[in-house]
Structure 1
Amino acid sequence: MKKQLLTGAVFAASLMFASQAFAEIKIGVAGPLTGPNAAFGAQLQKGAEQAVADINAAGGVNGEMLSIVLGDDVSDPKQGVSVANKFVGEGVQYVVGHFNSGVSIPASEVYAENGIFQITPASTNPNFTERGLWNTFRTCGRDDQQGAVAGKYIADNYKDTPVAVIHDKTPYGQGLADETKKAMNGLGVTEAVYEGINIGDKDFSALISKLKAANVGIIYYGGLHTEAGLIVRQAADQGLKAVLMSGDGITSDEFASIGGPAVEGTLMTFPPDPRTNADAAPVVEKFRAAGFEPEAYTLYSYAAVQVIVEGIKAAGENDPQKVAEALKGGTQYTTVIGQLGFDEKGDITRPDYTMYVWKKNDAGKITYTQMQ
C-alpha cells in the first residue's frame, strides 16, 4: 500500500512538473478584426502572431511557450469590454491591444481588476495612461505629442491660411484634433471652422459647403481613414482645393483606395517608419514573403510582444504585476521599432512623431512617404 501511495505521489508530482514545463503564457490580441477598421485589426493580429512564432521558435521565455487568443472588438467600446471579460475567462495574462483609444480605455479597467497586463500598439489618447492604473502600456506615442507636431507644422506653414479642425467625436479623433488645435492656437493660429462628424457618415456635402464658405485652405481631421478618405474625395469633387492633414489613424493604404487621386498631397503625422529600421529587416522580409505588407502598426504589435517577453525576463517570473513594475524601471529594450523604455505611466520615453505626405511612389502608387 505504501509503495502504491508513493508511486501515486511521484506520478502526481511528475504530472505537475510536466504541466509547469509545458505551461503556456496566454496573450490576448484584441482589435477590430472585422468591420471598417479591419485593416488595422489585421496589423495587430499579424504582428503579434509573427512575434509569438519567432519567440517560440527560439525557445520561448523562461522555459514557457507563448500562445495567442484573439478577440474582435469591431472598434466598439461595449464589444471591447466583452472581449476583455472573455479574456479573463480564458486565463489570458497579457493583452496586445486594443486599436481604438475609446475601446482600450474601458477595457483596461477590466484588465486592471483581473490582474491582466495591457500594452496597446495604437491607442494614443493620453487618458489611457493618465489614470494611474498599474497595467497600461503602449509602444506608440501620445496625442499630445502628435498634436504638438501637427500644430507646429500648421503654424509654420499655414499661418495666414484659414484652417478647419474636424473630428469624429471619439476619444481618439476629438482628442487628437483638440491637441492639434491647442498647439496651433498657442502659436497664434485660430481655426476658422471647428466641427464634429459622425462615424459611418457617407455624405459630407454640408460640411464641405461650410468649409468652402470659410475659404479654408487646410483641413485638420482627427479620426480614421474611412471618413478621411470620403472627405478628401468629396471635397475635390466639389471644387474645394484644401490640403487635408491628419494623424496616425489614416496610416493604411486603404485611405488611398477610398479617397482616390484626391489623397495626393495629404499630410500626416506618424512615427518614423519602422520598416526602414535595419534591425527589423529580417522580420519585414518574413511578412512580405507571406504576402503581407507590415505597414503602420504591424511592427508596433510585434514590438508589444517583445516588450512582454523582456518584462518577464526582467521580472524573473511570469507575474503580470511584477512584469509591469520591472518595465517601469527605465531600462531600454531592443525591439523591431527601435529602443523602447517606459516611464511610470507606461508611456514610451522617446519622442515618436514626424511628418509624412501622401504621394505617388516610383511604382505610381499613392502611399505615405516620410518628409525630410
Structure 2
Amino acid sequence: MNSYMKHGFAVAALSAACNAAFAADDITVIKIGSAAPTTGAIANLGKENENGARLAVEDVNRRGLVINGKKIKLELDAVDDQADPRQGTQVAQRLVDDGVVAVVGHLNSGVSIAASRIYHDAQILQISPDSTNPKFTQQGFNTTYRLVATDAQQSPVLAHYALETLKAKKVAIVDDSTAYGQGLADQFSSAVKSGGATVVAREATNDKTIDFKGVITKIKGQSPDVIFYGGMDATAGPFIKQVAQLGLNAKVLGGDGTCSDEVIALAGPAVDRLVCSIAGLPLSRMKAGPAFEKEYQQRFGMPVQIYAPYAYDAVMVIVDAMKKSGSTDHAKILAAASATDYQGLTGQIQFDDKGDVRSPRLTLYGYKDGKKTLLTTMTP
C-alpha cells in the first residue's frame, strides 16, 4: 500500500468517526422509569411489568421516534421496589433524580400509593399497569393514572359469581394486610353482604405468610361455602393447597394478584378450586394479542402471565403524550396525558378526571386440571 492510499484510508476513517459522532449527537436520549418488584416472592409478576415496558421501548426505538424535529431514543430506567412501600418511595426519588420524564409503575397498590407523592411533587406522570386499589387515584394528584379496573369494580364481579353461580350463603374472608389485599377484601365483603350472604369469618395475615393452618382451622369451624383470599400468588398458592389439605370443600376466590401461572405450581392439584379475576382483558380477546404474545415469548423466553400488555401500553401512552405535546419535557408530557385518546394493544385508552381508564374490562378465570381457563369477560 502506497503512502497516498494509507493517507486516504486515514482520512476516510477520520471522516467516518466524525460522522458517527455527529449522528450520535443528533439523537436525544429520553429516560422512562419502570418500577416493580423484580426480586422476592412476586418477582415473576414484577419482571413481567418490566419486560412489557422494555418491549415497548425497543419497538419504539426500532420504528424511530422524532419529536419536534429531534430524533429520540428511549431508554428504560428499571428499578426494583421489592413490593415494599418504603423501598418504593426510595426508588421513586431515584427515578426523579435520574431525570425520567414519566414512570410505568408500580405493581402493588400500597407501593404505588406511597410512591405517588414523590412523583406528584416532581410533577412526573405515573401510569400503573396493575395497581387496583381505588385510593391510588383518589388522592387529588394530577400525576396518577392507571390502565386497569379498580377493586371497587373487580370485587363486585367476584361477589356476584359467589352469590349467583356458586350460590354461596356463608363466606369466609382472609387478606394479607396490604393495601391491595385488604382493600380488595373490604370491597368483596361489602358486595357479598349487600347480596344477602353472611361473612362468617374475617382473618388477616401478612404478605410473607406461607403457613395458614391456624387460620384455616378457625375458618373450617364456620363451614363456609366460599373463601375469599385477598393477596398475591406467592401466598395464595400455599393457602389454597392448605385449604384442600385440611379438608375444606369450599371454592377459593381471589383477585388478579392470585390469577397467574405461578399459583399452579404453588397450589398443586388444589388450584382447580380457584376462581380469580383479572382487571383487564386476556390476550386472546385483544386484536393484536396473539402477535404480542409471540413477540414477547421470542424476546424473553417465557409466556405472558397477566399485565405485560398493560405495561407495554403505558409506555405507548407516554410516547403518545410526547407526540401530542411536541415535547419531551416532563411537565408538557404530563399535561398532554389527561387528553389521551389512544388505540392501544389493550383497547381504546381514555382517562377520566381522576386518572382512571374509561370503560375498563374484567375477566374471570377458573382452573381445570391444573390449567388456567377463561370463564367470561365483562364491563363492570
TM-score of the two chains, using structure 1 as the length reference: 0.90
Corresponding residue for 2:343?
334
What secondary structure, in the 3-state scheme, does the structure 2 residue paired with 1:82 have? Answer: helix
Corresponding residue for 2:96?
88
Which runs of at least 4 in structure 1 moved beyond 4 Å after TM superposition?
17-20
Matches within 5 A, 1:301-320: 301-320=311-330
Q: How many angstroms does 1:324 deviate by? A: 3.0
Deviations 1:110-137 (A, max 9, x none): 1111122110111111111111111111
Kindly indicate whether residue 215 of structure 2 is the aligned counterpart of residue 207 of structure 1.
Answer: yes
Residue 38 (structure 1) aligned to one of 18, 38, 43 = 43
Q: How many angstroms does 1:282 deviate by? A: 2.6
**Contact 1:273 1:370 (8 Å CA) reproduced:** no
With 278-287 and 262-271 compared, the bigger mean Cα shift is at 278-287
Residue 261 (structure 2) aligned to one of 248, 253, 258 = 253
Q: How many angstroms does 1:61 deviate by? A: 4.5
Q: How many angstroms does 1:181 deviate by? A: 1.1
Structure 2: which amino acid aligns with 1:223? G
**Contact 2:272 2:368 (8 Å CA) reproduced:** yes
Q: How many angstroms does 1:95 deviate by? A: 0.6
Residue 351 (structure 1) aligned to one of 339, 342, 360 = 360
Corresponding residue for 1:162?
170
Distance across 2 between alignment mates of 1:160 and 1:51: 43
Over the residues paired in the alignment, what is the CA RMSD in angstroms?
1.9
Aligned length: 352
Corresponding residue for 1:8?
none
Q: How many angstroms does 1:44 deviate by? A: 0.6
Distance across 1 between alignment mates of 2:277 and 2:50: 23
Residue 184 (structure 1) aligned to one of 176, 184, 192 = 192
Distance across 1 between alignment mates of 2:91 and 2:184: 25
Q: How many angstroms does 1:26 deviate by? A: 0.6
Q: How many angstroms does 1:226 deviate by? A: 1.4
More strand, by proportion: 2
Deviations 1:8-66 (A, max 9, x none): xxxxxxxxx98884112211111100000100111111101110000111102523111
Matches within 5 A, 1:1-372: 21-62=26-67, 63-270=71-278, 271-290=280-299, 291-329=301-339, 331-360=340-369, 365-371=370-376
Give the direction of change, closer, same or farther, for the CA distance of 1:110–1:249 in structure 2 (3 Å limit): same
TM-score of the two chains, using structure 2 as the length reference: 0.88
What secondary structure, in the 3-state scheme, does the structure 2 residue paired with 1:192 have? Answer: strand
Deviations 1:154-179 (A, max 9, x none): 22234453211111111100001111
Give the direction of change, closer, same or farther, for the CA distance of 1:116–1:177 in structure 2 (3 Å limit): same
Distance across 2 between alignment mates of 1:183 and 1:264: 24
Q: How many angstroms does 1:239 deviate by? A: 0.9
Distance across 1 between alignment mates of 2:24 and 2:233: 46
Q: Structure 1: any 5+ residue segments left out of the alignment?
A: 1-16
**Contact 2:192 2:198 (8 Å CA) reproduced:** yes
Distance across 1 between alignment mates of 2:373 and 2:32: 31
Structure 2: which amino acid aligns with 1:351? P
Corresponding residue for 1:10?
none
Corresponding residue for 2:15?
none
Q: Matched residues, percent identical?
A: 38
Deviations 1:179-236 (A, max 9, x none): 1111122222221111111221221111111121101121111110111111110111
